[in-house]
Structure 1
Amino acid sequence: MIKFLLDANLSPKTSKYLTKLGFDSKSITEEKLGYLKDSEIIKITKKEKRIIITFDLDFGEIYHQKESGNMGIIVLRLENQTPENVNSILDQFLSKETDKLKQNIKSLIVIKKGSTRFVK
């Protein structure tokens, strides 16, 4: 099963939505861990074998500098960051790309409206 950890910059509504879709999803905000540094979030993500979902571009940099191939990160590059739009974009991505995601579980994935890029 694919497991997600949603960064504090995403709404807990998105975590609930992913759970409703059948994924194991946790929210940093709901877990009351919003105070953690990125490095601590990465430790949790790796320990629990989760894919972090974030708007924070710093995670992309961390992936390239230190974590390439060691963990999965989905960076959302969206102008409209409302939970409804995020849920819609993730739903479209997951309905089309779940198999590819499973094969590239430790990749950096950049999602923009209308495009997805897998970076190994």
Structure 2
Amino acid sequence: MKEKFKLDENLPEAALALFRKNNFDAVNVTEEQLAGATDECILTVCGNENRVLVTQDLDFSDITLLGRTEIPGIIIFRLKSQSREAVIETLEKLIPLLKENSATGKIMIVSENRIRIREV
């Protein structure tokens, strides 16, 4: 089964478009009326929908989240600039990795020059 993704509200619409352009099943919290929802709510929804969360919110970097929740995986963008351009440029580097490797069971910390993967 192909992985599904949910993009947090702190990512630009262009990020969602890039996921979809690359044939990923992706939605964002805004189109599902979850903007402003608590972290716990987002985690629950991602778990219920079996979606990997993609976010810039460092609150989700706790490695124990995967063991304490039903969320399949988390991808966190930790960029010096959170501009639309910086996010899209970094996402364009990440997409080929996601096509070849599963994000399930992992927290991936993505920076401009590196991707750290913590497996649970």
By the TM > 0.5 criterion, same fold?
A: yes
Q: Distance in 1 between matches of 2:24 and 2:84?
A: 17
In the other structure, the counterpart of 1:39 is: 40
Supply the RMSD in Å over aligned alpha carbons. 1.8
Q: Report % sequence identity.
A: 28
Name the residue aligned to 1:15.
16
- Give structure 2 stretches of 5+ with no counterpart: none
SS of 2:57's equivalent in the other structure is coil
Q: Which amino acid aligns with 2:75?
A: I
Greater helix percent: which structure?
1
> Matches of 1:83 and 1:24 in 2, distance apart?
21
Distance 1:15 1:49 in 2: 17
Superposed displacement of residue 47, structure 1: 1.2
Query: TM-score under structure 2 normalisation?
Result: 0.85
Q: How far is 1:97 from its partner?
A: 4.7
Displacement of 1:88: 2.0
Q: Which runs of 5+ in 1 are unaligned?
A: none
Alignment of 1:1-120 (within 5 A): 1-61=2-62, 64-68=63-67, 70=70, 71-100=72-101, 102=102, 104-120=103-119
Count of aligned positions: 116
For structure 1, which segment, 67-76 or 24-33, has the greater mean C-alpha deviation from structure 2 after superposition?
Answer: 67-76
TM-score normalised by L of structure 1: 0.85
Name the SS of the counterpart of 1:68 in structure 2. Answer: helix
What is the one-letter code of the residue matched to 2:108? I
Aligned partners of 1:111 and 1:117 also within 8 Å: yes
